[in-house]
Copies of this chain bind each other. A is one copy, B any other.
Amino acid sequence: MITLSSDFGSPYPAAMKGVILRQSDARLVDVAHDFPRQDVRAAAFWLREVLPHFPPAVHLVVVDPGVGTDRDAIVVRAGDHALVGPDNGVLLPAARALANGPDYDDLDVFRIAVDDPESSTFHGRDVFAPAAATVHEAGVDRFHEDDGFVPTDAFVDLQFPTATVSETGASGEALVVDGFGNVVTNVPGDAVADRFGEQVRINGEPAPVRRTYARVGPGDRLVTVGSHGNVELAVNRGRGDEAFRVDTGSRVELEY
């Protein structure tokens, strides 16, 4: 099985699929091709949320603001999964989740040999898709240097910023906004887990903490804990990002 993720929109992902299907009969599953363009952190967040639900697979990821520079192309082996994509950190949070641990010891990283990184090549199609197919056909446990994958210890990591939680609240930021306008923060859900039914202040303005959207009226704001386990700013049947006036990267100050 090979999953595909990118910020390519359409129809570029189909070219990657064609290339893979010339090399492999793997089942193909799209994760998303509408990740915010060139937003490595947002893609890394969603991949960490979604990929751990999959059975063992090769995950092809192309969110690549550095295309055309000399950034490397890498494969990360994480447990019985492998991730293939640019060396910009986008693969790492998901890889750690798939390897079931925070340690690099559980991850093996390989550099993909690329002939001319600055060519006008479409790397998704001409570098990453063939590499994903090769890894799939060789086996996640068995692809190796003869296939063009050179072990490396030097790679770009990506860590999500950490929120600070205190007696009086929490200070964090908006990690991503989903398509519905729900704002996922980096504040752990524990910060409000014993306050359902109460009020808090978000960036100075009051908002109710509720277990589910349905606990407030349509159009009303709420603070809740999303399925990802983090504090989420939302509006029942509306857009939380607009109601709370925050966007990806905005500060989120939560006061009890």
Contact = CB atoms under 8 A, between A and B. Distances in A.
Interface stretch (A18-26, A157-165, A200-208): A18-26
A187 B34 CA distance: 29
A251 interface: no
Chain A interface residue number, banded: 35 or more
A213 interface: yes
A118 interface: yes
Interface stretch (A63-71, A99-107, A242-250): A63-71
A215 to B, nearest CB: 7
Contacts of A5: 11
Interface stretch (A45-53, A82-90, A141-149): A45-53
A58 to B, nearest CB: 13
A68 to B, nearest CB: 3
A44 to B, nearest CB: 12
A6 to B, nearest CB: 11
A120 B227 contact: yes
A122 B53 CA distance: 13
A197 interface: no
A225 interface: yes
A53 B226 contact: no
Nearest to A213: B68
A31 B125 CA distance: 14
Contacts of A121: 227
Contact of A67 (B19, B69, B179, B213): B213
Interface string A118-141: 111110011000000000000000
Interface in A1-54: 1, 3, 5, 8-12, 14-15, 17-19, 21-22, 28-35, 37-38, 46, 49-54
Contact of A66 (B38, B118, B214): B214
A47 to B, nearest CB: 8
A10 to B, nearest CB: 4
Central interface residue in A21, A28, A33, by most chain B CB within 10 Å: A21
Given A34-B10, A50-B11, A1 B21 contact: yes
Nearest to A47: B11
